[in-house]
């Protein structure tokens, strides 16, 4: 005997049960941590010093603090978006260049790997020394962190173009640039979009981590988190961290939707 | 004496890993003639087709390719998932810069293969048979004089394959293009071709050439005649399938 098919309401309920349980566990653990940490509420103001409980997250955040968080969010957002745009353009260009010949790939690949595996905290001070604590330097750090997934996925996507489609183009007498525009780049789009999705998350990390090294100029989210940490202002620190997470999640979801739209004809 | 439109003259092909695919293969394809190439799996049939298409060069002998519009149809249909049937069919003509009245030609080609209702659909929305019809339309929209078929119906179910074979026979009767048909299917070769070249195991050599003297109009009824069975038996014998 088979059970009757679930109604729309039942399906939605089932889909929400899992995330609701996990969220409840996390919030419960958060409360437990806030109220069991030694000295968490030892300050004279009574505000949490290390981990604020969820319902007291916004305590101690006045208009000035909100203003600082707003400026920092704008700076980090602008850095992430500009960095991601440049990383995407640079990554696609590198992928296309490497796909043109195995010799170029062999020449460039080891250097790209080297840049990718070098910790950004090693490179950032050098970049700041060379470029100064400028917006360009912040963006450059973001590009260095974020370009690799796009470059490698572009190369991978172009290399796995269906051989018979290449044959169709060759027989029709299509040149390199026509093949690139009408076959290779469109065919590599699913791989490129997957790379951009990963790079989007990295761009946010790059903008925030790189920010730790910028002692001059307006603070981005990374620098502001450090400031609130040193000032033992747990509430503003958590709010700033959540904004950084929110930017990362928004980027990821946005590019997942863009990919879904761009690739809607690929498969069912 | 028919004029040869494509000639393989004592052609040999050995790959860099020293695998010898073809040895001393001589075939001439006449104008408006369809030559089927049959042989055991892996004997070098597709290598022969790549040589005919100019996608590869022989290591000995020579391939004389005609200076005519050439199209190719592969088993995997090779449609672009991001283009509709209309734009897939237009592709080869666009690439070749052959855009004169292209819209009309695309619509005609799509009509000829029976895909009118699917002209604005994407490949993911088509069945296997419909995809192959779209690939046929793409090959024919440039009005080719030579069409190279690499096991075009090999991935389709039996009924769809028979239907498409009939459609292809009708298209050939109308357009009169020459062609090479690579196939594993003896009945398909006999039904569609004017001549069948049987290749031996690798390195492939021509072991038999069989003229197919059936009615020039190939319709489904042809398959049930005694002559059809007789030619099939000759091909099977040349392949060593029956003694």
Give the residue extent of every domain in chain A: 71-262
Across the A/B interface, how many CB contacts are shorter than 8 Å? Answer: 53
Most A-contacting residue of B78, B84, B151 (CB-CB within 10 A), to test interface: B78
Mean local confidence (pLDDT), A181-200: 95
pTM of the model: 0.83
For residue A49, what is the DSSP state? S
Strands, sheet with B20-30, edge to edge from the N-terminal-most edge strand: B20-30, B4-14, B60-64
Tell me which of A26 and B67 has the higher pLDDT.
A26
Token output for B47: 């290598």
Q: Which residues in chain A are contacts of B74 at CB distance < 8 A?
A: 164, 167-168
Calculated CA dihedral for residues A173, A176, A177, A180, nearest 10 degrees: 100
Do B72 and A178 lie within an 8 Å CB cutoff?
no
Question: What are the respective helix, strand and coil percentages of chain B, to the nearest 5?
Answer: 40, 25, 35
What confidence score (pLDDT) does residue A151 get? 96
Which residues fall within 8 angstroms of residue A35, CB to CB, at 6 or more apart?
A: A53
- Closest A-chain CA to B90: A172
Helix (H) or strand (E) holding B89: helix B85-95
Half-sphere exposure of B150 (CA within 13 A, CB side): 21
Token output for B65: 């390719």
Res. A122 pLDDT band, cuts 50 70 90? confident
Partner A, chain B 91-150, Cβ-Cβ below 8 Å: 91-92, 95-96, 122, 124
Res. A202 pLDDT band, cuts 50 70 90? very high
Contact B122, B45 (CB under 8 A): no
Do A170 and B55 lie within an 8 Å CB cutoff?
yes
Token output for B202: 């690798």
What interhelical angle do A63-100 and A234-262 show, nearest 10?
40
CA distance A268 to chain B (A): 7
- Closest A-chain CA to B69: A172
Q: Which residues in chain A are contacts of B76 at CB distance < 8 A?
A: 162, 164
Which residues fall within 8 angstroms of residue B212, CB to CB, at 6 or more apart?
A: B190, B193, B194, B195, B196, B231
Quick one: what percent of chain B has pLDDT higher than 90?
57
Instruction: Kindly report, residue by residue over A79-116, the tens digit of the pLDDT.
Output: 999 999 999 999 999 999 999 999 999 999 999 999 88
Token output for B218: 């190939």
Res. A60 pLDDT band, cuts 50 70 90? confident
At residue B210, does pLDDT exceed 80? Answer: yes
Residue ranges of chain B that CATH labels 3.40.50.300:
1-68+145-243
Mean local confidence (pLDDT), A42-63: 86
For residue B204, what is the DSSP state? B
> CB distance from B183 to chain A under 8 Å?
no
CA distance A164 to chain B (A): 6
What confidence score (pLDDT) does residue A210 get? 79
Token output for A19: 């995330």
Mean of the per-residue pLDDT values for chain A?
A: 90
Tell me which of A256 and A213 has the higher pLDDT.
A256
Angstrom distance (rounded) from CA B43 to CA B207: 12
Which CATH superfamily groups domain B1-68+145-243? P-loop containing nucleotide triphosphate hydrolases (3.40.50.300)
- Pick among 3.40.640.10, 3.40.50.300, 1.20.1250.20, 1.10.3720.10: CATH of A71-262: 1.10.3720.10
CA distance A188 to chain B (A): 11
Angstrom distance (rounded) from CA B217 to CA B222: 9
* R_g (Cα) of chain A, nearest Å: 24
Token output for B68: 């005519």
Angstrom distance (rounded) from CA A155 to CA A144: 18
Instruction: Kindly report, residue by residue over A216-257, the tens digit of the pLDDT.
Output: 667 889 889 988 988 888 899 999 999 999 999 999 899 999
For residue A43, what is the DSSP state? S
At residue A268, does pLDDT exceed 60? Answer: no
Quick one: what percent of chain B has pLDDT higher than 70?
98
At residue A1, does pLDDT exceed 60? Answer: no
Angstrom distance (rounded) from CA B110 to CA B141: 9
Mean local confidence (pLDDT), A57-76: 91
Strands, sheet with B195-199, edge to edge from the N-terminal-most edge strand: B70-74, B146-150, B178-182, B34-38, B195-199, B206-211
Do B72 and A189 lie within an 8 Å CB cutoff?
no
Mean local confidence (pLDDT), B73-86: 91
What confidence score (pLDDT) does residue A213 get? 75
Closest Cβ opposite residue B95 in set A169, A265, A266: A169
Res. B1 pLDDT band, cuts 50 70 90? very low
What confidence score (pLDDT) does residue A128 get? 83
> CB distance from B67 to chain A under 8 Å?
no
At residue B157, does pLDDT exceed 80? Answer: yes
The distance from CA B87 to its chain's CA centroid, rounded to whole angstroms, is 22
Do A165 and B80 lie within an 8 Å CB cutoff?
yes
Q: Which residues in chain B are contacts of A182 at CB distance < 8 A?
A: 91, 95
- Write down the ipTM of this complex: 0.86
Do A165 and B55 lie within an 8 Å CB cutoff?
no
CA distance A262 to chain B (A): 9
What confidence score (pLDDT) does residue B126 get? 93
At residue B101, does pLDDT exceed 70? Answer: yes
> CB distance from A119 to chain B under 8 Å?
no
Instruction: Kindly report, residue by residue over B224-238, the tens digit of the pLDDT.
Output: 888 889 999 999 999
- Closest A-chain CA to B146: A171
DSSP H helical ranges for chain A: 8-36, 63-100, 102-117, 120-131, 135-159, 163-171, 176-179, 185-211, 221-230, 234-262
At residue B35, does pLDDT exceed 70? Answer: yes
Q: Which residues in chain B are contacts of A186 at CB distance < 8 A?
A: 80, 82
């Amino acid at each position: 005997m088979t059970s009757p098919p679930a109604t729309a309401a039942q399906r939605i309920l089932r889909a929400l049960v899992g995330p609701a349980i996990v969220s409840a566990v996390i919030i419960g653990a958060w409360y437990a941590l806030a109220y069991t940490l030694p000295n968490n509420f030892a300050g004279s103001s009574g505000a949490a010093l290390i981990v604020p409980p969820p319902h007291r997250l916004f305590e101690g955040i006045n208009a000035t603090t909100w203003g600082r968080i707003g400026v920092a969010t704008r700076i980090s957002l602008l850095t992430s978006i500009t960095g991601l745009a440049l990383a995407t353009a640079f990554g696609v260009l590198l992928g296309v260049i490497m796909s043109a010949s195995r010799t170029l790939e062999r020449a460039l690949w080891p250097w790209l790997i080297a840049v990718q595996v070098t910790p950004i905290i090693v490179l950032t001070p050098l970049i700041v020394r060379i470029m100064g604590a400028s917006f360009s330097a912040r963006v450059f750090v973001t590009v260095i962190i974020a370009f690799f997934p796009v470059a490698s996925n572009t190369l991978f996507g172009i290399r796995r173009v269906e051989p018979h489609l290449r044959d169709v183009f060759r027989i029709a007498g299509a040149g390199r640039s026509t093949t690139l525009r009408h076959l290779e780049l469109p065919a590599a789009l699913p791989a490129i979009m997957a790379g951009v999705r990963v790079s989007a998350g990295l761009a946010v990390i790059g903008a925030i981590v790189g920010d730790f090294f910028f002692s001059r100029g307006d603070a981005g989210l990374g620098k502001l988190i450090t400031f609130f940490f040193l000032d033992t202002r747990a509430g503003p620190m958590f709010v700033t961290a959540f904004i950084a997470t929110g930017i990362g999640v928004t980027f990821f979801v946005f590019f997942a939707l863009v990919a879904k739209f761009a690739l809607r004809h690929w498969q069912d | 004496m028919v004029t040869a439109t494509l000639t393989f003259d004592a052609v040999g092909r050995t790959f860099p890993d020293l695998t010898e695919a073809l040895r001393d293969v001589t075939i001439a394809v006449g104008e408006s003639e369809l030559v089927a190439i049959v042989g055991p799996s892996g004997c070098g049939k597709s290598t022969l087709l790549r040589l005919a298409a100019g996608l590869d060069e022989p290591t000995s002998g020579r391939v004389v390719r005609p200076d005519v519009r050439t199209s190719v149809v592969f088993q995997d249909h090779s449609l672009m998932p991001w283009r509709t049937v209309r734009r897939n069919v237009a592709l080869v003509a666009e690439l070749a810069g052959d855009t004169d009245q292209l819209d009309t030609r695309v619509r005609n080609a799509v009509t000829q293969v029976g895909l009118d209702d699917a002209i604005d659909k994407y490949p993911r929305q088509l069945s296997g048979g419909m995809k192959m019809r779209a690939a046929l339309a793409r090959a024919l929209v440039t009005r080719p004089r030579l069409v190279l078929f690499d096991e075009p119906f090999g991935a389709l179910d039996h009924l769809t394959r028979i239907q498409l074979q009939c459609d292809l026979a009708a298209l050939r009767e109308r357009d009169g293009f020459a062609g090479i048909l690579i196939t594993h299917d003896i009945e398909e070769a006999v039904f569609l071709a004017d001549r069948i070249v049987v290749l031996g195991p690798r390195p492939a050599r021509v072991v038999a050439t069989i003229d197919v003297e059936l009615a020039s109009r190939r319709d489904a009824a042809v398959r049930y005649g005694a002559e059809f069975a007789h030619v099939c038996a000759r091909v099977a014998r040349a392949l060593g399938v029956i003694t």
